[in-house]
Structure 1
Amino acid sequence: MFLNVIHFPPNVPDLIRQALSVFLCCLAPFQVLFNQFKYFFNLYFLLLACSQFVPEMRLGALYTYWVPLGFVLAVTVIREAVEEIRCYVRDKEVNSQVYSRLTARGTVKVKSSNIQVGDLIIVEKNQRVPADMIFLRTSEKNGSCFLRTDQLDGETDWKLRLPVACTQRLPTAADLLQIRSYVYAEEPNIDIHNFVGTFTREDSDPPISESLSIENTLWAGTVVASGTVVGVVLYTGRELRSVMNTSNPRSKIGLFDLEVNCLTKILFGALVVVSLVMVALQHFAGRWYLQIIRFLLLFSNIIPISLRVNLDMGKIVYSWVIRRDSKIPGTVVRSSTIPEQLGRISYLLTDKTGTLTQNEMIFKRLHLGTVAYGLDSMDEVQSHIFSIYTQQSQDPPAQKGPTLTTKVRRTMSSRVHEAVKAIALCHNVTPVYESNGVTDQAEAEKQYEDSCRVYQASSPDEVALVQWTESVGLTLVGRDQSSMQLRTPGDQILNFTILQIFPFTYESKRMGIIVRDESTGEITFYMKGADVVMAGIVQYNDWLEEECGNMAREGLRVLVVAKKSLAEEQYQDFEARYVQAKLSVHDRSLKVATVIESLEMEMELLCLTGVEDQLQADVRPTLETLRNAGIKVWMLTGDKLETATCTAKNAHLVTRNQDIHVFRLVTNRGEAHLELNAFRRKHDCALVISGDSLEVCLKYYEYEFMELACQCPAVVCCRCAPTQKAQIVRLLQERTGKLTCAVGDGGNDVSMIQESDCGVGVEGKEGKQASLAADFSITQFKHLGRLLMVHGRNSYKRSAALSQFVIHRSLCISTMQAVFSSVFYFASVPLYQGFLIIGYSTIYTMFPVFSLVLDKDVKSEVAMLYPELYKDLLKGRPLSYKTFLIWVLISIYQGSTIMYGALLLFESEFVHIVAISFTSLILTELLMVALTIQTWHWLMTVAELLSLACYIASLVFLHEFIDVYFIATLSFLWKVSVITLVSCLPLYVLKYLRRRFSPPSYSKLTS
């Protein structure tokens, strides 16, 4: 066996194999410079530190500038090192797993990292598939196997895989080494849902050629759920589907971070201006350019070097708090860089099925056109099925022939039977039998125990339909790649041969199956799908559209079921064309679709099915909370307009007193213009629009439509494609400039989630694909309320307070330096040197300032009870130019007060100035933290007292900068007390007056 390829990479993904080496390279000086100092401010601080090697620019000890820079770099590098080492250990464990390889000398053991293209690998049950392979053989008697693919595509349902037919027929697995064959495969790509290839066996007469599709593949990262399989390795290393899909996600930069960066740029501008002013006041005398650099060094504290580190550590704390919240169990933070985004969401875009609803389908309605059966009349359906499969002895024995009533009943029974049989056959459901916790599908061939049977399918709708047919008497008891077995009410087994299956896709919105009844030999083509596509496939009727609308208005998900009887010759002709199309290498999908469409004509409409997807718990109060918080909710769904509208009403997305404007279907520019004008005349009404109309409006009147839609209290977009969901998110961001949050649970929501400013995935019945792609993962929609109202609000307010206080801390000492230099004739002489300047922003004030990440203005219960508090954050007031200016003025006032107070009250020693001013500065910072805190946490108290104790204890070792004997005098104590009181007392008074006469909204709730 061989493959027509030339060169392949080793089976160690490059991203994984190079992880440790990349990190080791990062330890090299040049790599660190590239990775860390490509950011302007890091580079700026590096240049300042390097300038201290020039004697004319040196202002003090080298460690004064190098230690803070080294600390910031160390935190970043250590964090990256931990992540890389963790990945390396995990990936090494994966790549060291041992597998069995078939060779001419027998079965040998081989590590995953040593597997090569062309190897025949044996994978046992519950073992991970080590490489992308073509499925050749299985030990299962039914000739198929199941895969668990949740680690690849996030979907929790098991996938059925089929081996190559000619290799499965070989007596033993060792015979694979005796045949001469080759695989033609497409080039490696990222599509995990499709595959095009052919398998050719040349040593047979004539040569056998079989088409290969996704059903014949075993992708790396999946797990074999049943039996033992043998496959030939097709792709390895960086060419694996899983690796090619592991791209670096779009790095989301939060609005808060952008605002902080903007403020930092303003501070940099202030730094340059102050330095130039100082030199200008010297009339640019002497070597003025060196003086500018020295002043840039002196006032470098204006830009807080520790700001980024403090904020990053704060984000880690917020993420930890979210994960530990027992009120929202199972919540996962996948992106710890944007928790503040949760506190400023203006638009929430949500999926419907599985997000607002439970995605647990309950069969509610069977409609045959002239008669409909609901939950209260399912016993009639059961009796019809029973009558079909029982003897005619049930007829009254006195009658010689069937009466009109009996004929009508038999006709109705026949119609009901055909509909139920179609539903029982047209699906992708496979019954799996579990015994003592061990799955054994082959048991289905021996006995069908209801208590052991579990249905596996790709959709909850499918399972709901099959479970309903079981409840009315027609039970799916067995299925493999080529046959299906149904059990009748009389325990008779009906055998059907599966001739072809046409799986459901989001594009086609339908699925079909061709089966042969083994008892009669009849061939039937069954199909079910959405009404929009089935309406053009079934024979003309006058009730389909009306009844679909009626059922949708009741909130039911509607499927149209149809059939077509095929003659043997007709099927043989179709099969020949279909097989030929499947063997095509180029444009296979298009050719296959064309052949199938030739069969989809004039089908007989059998019935409509209606299943209900009930709302999740507490969806209504959650949506009401979001609405009261000033968040506009848009529902984007692929369901029918009527179903989506019904769900929106039931969920109270649209309130009872709100009008609903249903945007009529438009197909051209003129119709869109007229409908937009009609919509413009409506006020305060919810909008419901279909995907087709939306596409036309966005094509011709994008600005006008978005302007009108953004004014609506709620918007429902139905029949919405995944690309349209992402497009709507993008347009909202561009047109409004507001933050968006997208919530979904399925693979069709991934693009929307990734496009939004903050993506939230719901772990649902459809798997974890949306959850894995999101920034935050929750288990129920109701948890979103607490995630935003409590954690989002707290994260934003805490980061705002933390960043402003770090800036205030830096501006205070810079103001003192400016006053000191001004008093002494604008001399570029540092006020504080050595450990004083380092200790000020580390051990003396770091912990109290950072403890602000534990502060909260109201209790969690209050924040949930009054969502209006969240609305206050949407304007960004906690971190605005106004609040920034206020903190700048506070910093200037306190810095000037402390410095002038120390200068006016000192005796004759410079060290006394340093002692008085520095001690006053430390006490002022600690008191300012106390002034800022809204709710005390015991760790805050510990941080305040510990920092004060550290400063007092360190005074003994600071004799180089401070007169130890002077600080023990009464003169020192009263001077420090007066200066500290003057710098802080006015602010306490102003805070009291503000809370007394103009209290903020949160203080009204806590008073």
Structure 2
Amino acid sequence: MGFDPPNHSETRTVYVANKYPQHDHYVPPKFADNRIISSKYTVLNFIPKNLFEQFRRIANFYFLIIFLVQLMIDTPTSPITSGLPLFFVITVTAIKQGYEDWLRHKADNEVNGAPVYVVRSGHLVKTRSKNIRVGDIVRVAKDETFPADLVLLSSDRPDGSCHITTASLDGETNLKTHFAVQETAVLQSAANLHTLSAVIECQQPEADLYRFVGRLTIRQHSEDIVRSLGPDNLLLRGARLKNTKEIFGVAVYTGMEAKMALNYKSKSQKRSAVEKSMNSFLLVYLIILLFEAILSTILKYAWQAEEKWDEPWYNQKTEHDRNSSKILKFISDFLAFLVLYNFIIPISLYVTVEMQKFLGSFFIGWDLDLYHEESNQRAQVNTSDLNEELGQVEYVFTDKTGTLTENEMQFRECSVNGIKYKEINCKLVPEGVTMDFPDAPTTSLSMEEELFLKAVSLCHTVQISYDQIDGCGDGLRFANGMSNQFEYYASSPDEKALVEASRRMGVAFNGIHGEIMEIKCLGKLERYKLLHVLEFDANRRQMSVIVESPSGEKILFTKGAESSVLCNAKLGEIDRTRIHVDEFASKGLRTLCIAYRKFSPEEYNEIDQRLHEAKTALQQREERLADVFNFIERDLVMLGATGVEDKLQDKVHETIEALRVAGIKVWVLTGDKHETAVSVSLSCGHFHRNMNILELVQQKTDRECAEQLSQLARRLREDHVIQHGLVVDGASLSLALREHEKLFMEVCRNCSAVLCCRMAPLQKAKVVRLLKTSPEKPITLAVGDGANDVSMIQEAHVGIGIMGKEGRQAVRNSDYAIARFKFLSKLLLVHGHYYYIRIATLVQYFFYKNVCFITPQFLYQFYCLFSQQTLYDSVYLTLYNICFTSLPILMYSLFEQHVHPHVLQSKPGLYRDISKNALLGFKPFLYWTLLGFGHAFVFFFGSYFLMGEDTSLLGNGQMFGNWTFGTLVFTVMVITVTMKMALETHFWTWINHFVTWGSIAFYFIFSLFYGGIICLIPQQKPWSTESFQSIRGISLLKVRRRVQKNFQGIRYTMYFKTSDWLGFCCPLGYSSLVTRLCLIEEPSIAWVGPPSRAPLKELWPLIGCALCVTSARMGRNHIKDAAGTGPELGVGRRGSCLGRNDWGAPGSLSCLPLVRSL
């Protein structure tokens, strides 16, 4: 072709139709294919990759280390006790992630296999979407989605334009017009496009949907024609073609390099305050674990150092043991104790928390109070990781337009040539003028009025809905053939409101065809040639068009914020317009200033040349365009200003007041001017009439700003009784944050409400970051509806998107999305309150029940001389957190409602009770920890004193062994911690009842089967019957005295909080039931019912003893005969005085009485 490839690392070169240069040394570049891969795993890498990701979590990795330690050294517990829970957690997570990834694979295959048509050798060839390559010319038909990012070459329209909708990308449902360059617009067939010799140079792929920089070089008649390419020339993958029969485009970004795919990247991970507290608790319990392991190891060696505690002859050390390294021995024992106590760290906590967050997030979407019927929109949860953070918010940062207001604009007033006008009966009427014939149509306009309305009708980016034009088909007919029944579409509600108002008052925009803009002024058709559009940007805060009038004049029309337009105006009624703008703003109207400028031919030629150079630049295009725009938009002539009303949303005032009562400070961050923002703040209740309004506006220098801040700080200290509100503009804020950040924060903290006006998007994010990083570290929430709010939504701890009319960028980048601002009240005060209460109790309860679980294990080592003998059976160790105690707390964390929702909404002050992470602070943590230790001591010593000093509890001389004692402690513990959860529950559903009582029942049933109570072999007589029939030896008088004493204490304490004495009363009732079981053969004292003196509710812990006595065979070694002959005596680990059998033979050593006798 003759093109030499440019050498730019920041750009890519695309040869249209893959017509590469005919150079031997040229190597075609390699680009990504068009396959979309949203999946994370493949069949081959799923297991290793998923395991790697899961073991990156500290808890999983910790339990993996414990499991490996159990495999490598001689530990007191089976590796199954750690391996099975870890396997369960890893497997459940892997199945969940694998299923989700399978769904992604399925969706990818559907997209990649979709049929498409590409141009090959002048013909259309059908292929699959995944086969498209960069440089291919693709045909897309009406209502089809674009399979790659395409540069538009032509369409079935003569001007090469097409209409698309990007609802799947940014949620905007309005039609957008895209254009082809003039030179390719005429190539409307595959054969014609095959003759095209062109090269596209464009930027490398990036995720910004609204930015594209490139240029198209076309070779015609041995000459190169260069045309600039921008966002209006790019058709994004995922967008859909509308109102156009077909288009042809060349693929420039394919597959995972398309902008849609680049936006798949997840947002930065936010961590809630609860998660941070949970990690801190884990660290504390890890320290406790290490302390217990080290202390036990030291005490073991201290005992072994004493001669009188020398080991018996059958457990003497071998020569190898004596010569082995003491350090290695110490480490081995330390690791063994670490394994023994490691269950104090709950492995199932993370899984339970994840399940609670995932399942709990559905309640927001299901809440009909958060459903907006008019728009048919429900609340949306984009991340479930921050549910509880909704209950900790201290600052709310909100946008104004579209968030507090409806974003439905209605034209109210305007100023033209220094005169104020109102619209009355579709007429532009000067203020104070009465109309003789109000219903008569407009027949004439003054020259100034006509020019003003023409500027409004021409300076915009409004489109017309072609589907509603009679008989237009896919094309556009102009004034003489157009129906009056059509509708304007615009990305900006302000523009739509102004164009509609201009049409009502006699100057109607009839559409654009190619470069021709057509308006009808008082029934007369006029055509203007659109030469250039100077797009709006947040820095300039204005947009302009350059048009050629029917008379051939080159005219610039511009509209924008008064801070941008008035300062560049040189002629016209500038001062009166400024006064009128302030009056409009004081009424709460949104204001725009309108001006124009005429160019001489020489001026226009210079401007056209500079614009062409800037638009075709591949490097620093935005900066060059900004310089040219500033050069053009100067020496303006003021035409006037407009005032547009934006109504407040429903119940905004009540919502802000509820947030204020809840202790949440509300900051409004808006781009509107000072007067407009203050007026809206007063009307919505953000500011109230009795509030003293302080202002930090129009500061020019650092010194002025510092003096003003110092003055405001003094006033706040002096008038601390009344409430204050602060108004800050963007310029003053920049000065305050530059050198006086601390002073500015001091002023803001002492104000009840803050209003920041004339804010740029990045300034909003800076304000949020300023509060986040302040010494108090408050929890922040940002809420907005537009693209300019995305930065602050992402910066805040919690981001809320409003499903408004400015697209879906805010919704896509938010953590939660709601249809109206009023829903924020229930989202925080009810859902946030519940989520925090539930998960805070879940975390504390998990640590509590694990302290109850492991502390008896630690205490038991003092009685078995630190032999590392486990108190519980391995199966119980394994199933405690997985089966026996997991479901009640999970259901609690999903359904608990300690206060009725209506009470939470009617009394917002209740939100203060849980603020600042109140339930996961040091005092609650200490309470739950000490409660766990206290209950554990009662479980252990209550069972210990229940068994008393009797070494022979059976008539045949057999003794209860360590498994009996451990099962007794474990049974009491399971019942107590479950009932503790029941007593914490305020809102009972059938599911709560089922899992609470079902968990206890499941434990009993499982233990009965596991312990051999129910014999499955008919020929074998159940051992339990013989055991019960031979039980003797406990004095009834002794037990009765003990029971009477215990019940008196229970009656006294039952008037206090039940949950605090619940664990204490469990062991105290055992004596009564044990006595009755032991003397069951004597008719005179047969137990036929509960004693009348004991309240029925006090008898529930006695049930546990039945299982403890009858399921003593946890070692699964059957008694061979009633005379006591059983398994051979086993020796415990590391010199344990305990046998490994459950029931000691006549000569066996039982731990508890032995230690007491020594």
Is the TM value for this pair above 0.5?
Answer: yes
Distance 1:984 1:872 in 2: 32
1:787 to 802, 806, 827: 827
Tell me the equivalent position of 1:534. 565
How many residues were matched structurally? 967
Q: Which residue of 1 aligns with 2:591?
A: 558
1:674 aligned counterpart, secondary structure: helix
2:1057 counterpart of 1:991: yes
Which amino acid in 2 is paired with 1:525?
L
* Aligned partner (choices 916, 928, 931) of residue 983 of structure 2: 931
Distance change (3 Å), C-alpha of 1:123 and 1:967: farther
Task: Tell me, yes or no, if the aligned pair for 1:11 and 1:131 is still in contact at 8 Å.
Answer: no
* SS of 2:728 mapped into structure 1: strand
Counterpart mapping for 1:272-287 below 5 A:
272-284=290-302, 285=304, 287=329
When residues 981 and 711 of structure 1 are mapped into structure 2, their CA distance, relative to the original with a 3 A threshold, is farther
Asked if 1:314 is matched to 2:356, the reply is yes
Deviation at 1:961, TM superposition (A): 10
SS at match of 1:843: helix
Deviations 1:783-803 (A, max 9, x none): 111110011110010001111
Specify whether residues 662 and 981 from structure 1 end up closer, same or farther in structure 2 by C-alpha distance, changes over 3 A only. Answer: farther
Change (3 A) 1:446 1:11: farther
The aligned residue for residue 745 of structure 1 is 785
Measured at CA, do residues 89 and 439 of structure 1 come closer, stay the same or move farther in structure 2, by a change above 3 Å?
Answer: farther
Asked if the contact 1:691/1:721 (under 8 Å) is kept, the reply is yes
Indicate if the aligned counterparts of 2:694 and 2:725 stay in contact, CA closer than 8 A: yes
- Matching residue's letter, 1:919: T
Partner of 1:239: 257
**Pair 1:43–1:19, CA change in 2 (3 A):** closer
1:343 and 2:391 matched: yes
Please tell me whether the aligned partners of residues 726 and 754 of structure 2 are also in contact (alpha carbons under 8 angstroms).
yes
- Tell whether 2:634 aligns with 1:592: no
Residue 205 of structure 1, CA deviation: 5.5
Q: 1:49 & 1:113 partners in 2: Cα distance? A: 46
1:695 to 724, 729, 734: 734
CA contact (8 A) 1:956 1:964 kept: no
Look up the SS of the partner of 2:681 in the other structure: helix
Aligned partner of 1:899 in structure 2 is 940
Over 3 Å counting, the alpha-carbon distance change for 1:988 and 1:847 in structure 2 is farther
Equivalent residue for 1:909, pick from 957, 960, 963: 960
1:838 positional shift:
2.3
Residue aligned with 1:466, SS: helix
Work out the CA distance in 2 between the residues paired with 1:119 and 1:801.
Answer: 59
Q: Deviations along 1:549-603, whole A, 9 cap, x unmatched?
A: 2211111111111122334454344324433433333333333343443333322
How far residue 24 of structure 1 moved from its aligned partner, in angstroms, is 4.5
Measure how far apart 1:33 and its partner are.
5.0
Greater shift after overlay, 363-372 or 296-305? 363-372
2:209 corresponds to: 192
Contact 1:761 1:778 in 2 (8 A): yes
Alignment of 1:447-596 (within 5 A): 452-490=485-523, 492-518=524-550, 520-540=551-571, 541-596=574-629
Consecutive unaligned residues of structure 1, counting only runs of 5 or more, are 388-392, 396-409, 996-1007
Q: Which has the higher contact order (CA 8 A, sep 6+)?
A: 1
For residues 959-993 of structure 1, give each alpha carbon's deviation from its aligned partner in whole angstroms, at most 9, with x where no partner exists.
26998559989999x99999999999998644269
CA distance in 2, matches of 1:890, 1:394: 83
3-state DSSP of counterpart to 2:74: helix
CA spacing shift, 1:180–1:664, aligned 2, 3 Å: closer
Contact 2:533-2:544 at 8 Å conserved across structures: yes
Does 2:679 align with 1:646? yes
Counterpart-to-counterpart distance in 1, 2:224 and 2:193: 16
Percent identity, please. 30
**CA shift at 1:935, angstroms?**
1.9
Moved more, 697-706 or 956-965: 956-965
Change (3 A) 1:602 1:70: same
Q: Answer whether contact 1:923 1:980 (CA < 8 A) is retained.
A: no
Looking at structure 2, the residues matched to 549 and 356 of structure 1 have their Cα atoms a distance apart, in angstroms, of 21
Equivalent positions of 1:90-489 (< 5 A) are 90-104=107-121, 106-170=123-187, 172-204=189-221, 206-227=223-244, 228-284=246-302, 285=304, 287-329=329-371, 330-376=378-424, 379-381=427-429, 413-435=446-468, 440=473, 442-445=475-478, 452-489=485-522
Shift of 1:839: 2.6
Q: 1:723 aligns with which of 758, 762, 772?
A: 762
Q: Do the aligned residues in 2 keep the contact of 1:198 with 1:211 (CA within 8 Å)?
A: yes
CA contact (8 A) 2:469 2:486 kept: no
Residues 374 and 380 (structure 1), Cα distance of their counterparts in 2 relative to 1, 3 Å cut: closer
Q: Secondary structure at the match of 1:207?
A: strand
Stretch moving more, 571-580 or 901-910: 571-580
Q: Could you tell me how far 1:711 is from its partner in structure 2?
A: 1.9
* Number of the residue aligned with 1:7: 29
Q: Name the residue aligned to 1:772.
A: 812
8 Å contact from structure 1 (residues 760, 777) kept in 2: yes
How far 1:861 moved relative to its partner?
A: 0.7
Q: Offset at 1:922?
A: 1.8
Cα-Cα RMSD: 3.2
| Shift in Å, 1:994 | 11
Q: Which residue of the partner structure matches residue 45 of structure 2?
A: 25
Give the TM-score normalised by the residue count of structure 2.
0.79
Change (3 A) 1:994 1:367: farther
Separation in structure 2 between the aligned mates of residue 230 and residue 979 of structure 1, nearest angstrom:
93
List runs of 5+ in structure 2 lacking aligned partners.
1-15, 22-26, 305-325, 372-377, 436-440, 717-722, 948-952, 954-958, 1015-1022, 1062-1158
Q: Secondary structure at the match of 1:766?
A: coil
Q: Which amino acid aligns with 1:640?
A: K
Distance 2:1024 2:889 in 1: 27
Q: Distance in 2 between matches of 1:574 and 1:980?
A: 98
Does the aligned pair in 2 maintain the 1:432–1:440 contact within 8 Å? no
CA offsets 1:204-246 (integer angstroms, 9 cap, x no match): 2543222222221112222222311101111223332233343
Contact 1:9–1:237 under 8 Å retained in 2:
no
Question: Which residue number in structure 2 is paired with residue 880 of structure 1?
Answer: 921
Q: CA deviation at 1:460?
A: 0.6
SS in 2 for 1:841: helix
Amino acid at match of 1:41: A
Distance 1:904 1:145, change over 3 A: same
> Mean alpha-carbon deviation: is it higher for 334-343 or for 909-918?
909-918
Distance 1:986 1:116, change over 3 A: farther
Who is 1:398 aligned against? none
- For the 8 Å contact 2:589–2:643, the answer to whether it is kept is yes
SS in 2 for 1:442: coil
How many Å apart are 1:313 and its aligned residue? 0.9
- 1:949 to partner: Cα distance: 2.1
On the 8 A contact 2:423/2:429 being kept in 1, the answer is no
Partner Cα separation in structure 1 for residue 1052 and residue 276 of structure 2? 33
Q: Aligned to 1:56, which of 70, 74, 86?
A: 74
Letter in 2 for 1:249: K
What is aligned with 2:1077? Answer: none
Conserved in 2, the CA contact under 8 Å of 1:811 and 1:891?
A: yes
**TM-score under structure 1 length normalisation:** 0.91
> 2:274, 2:917 within 8 Å by CA — same for their partners in 1?
no
**Residue type of the partner of 1:232?**
V
Cα deviation 1:186-219 (Å, max 9, x = unaligned) = 3333343232322222232543222222221112
Whichever of the two has the greater Rg, that structure is: 2
Q: 1:958 to 1:414 in 2, by over 3 A?
A: same
Provide the C-alpha distance between the structure 2 equivalents of 1:434 and 1:759, rounded to a whole number of angstroms: 37
Q: Secondary structure at the match of 2:467?
A: strand
**Aligned residue type for 1:25:** N
Correspondence 1:667 to 2:700: yes
Secondary structure at the residue paired with 2:32? Answer: coil
Q: Kindly indicate whether the alpha-carbon contact (under 8 Å) linking 2:420 and 2:431 is maintained by their aligned counterparts in 1.
A: no
The one-letter code of the counterpart of 1:938 is W
2-structure distance, mates of 1:706, 1:900: 56
SS of residue paired to 1:767: coil
CA contact (8 A) 1:11 1:236 kept: yes
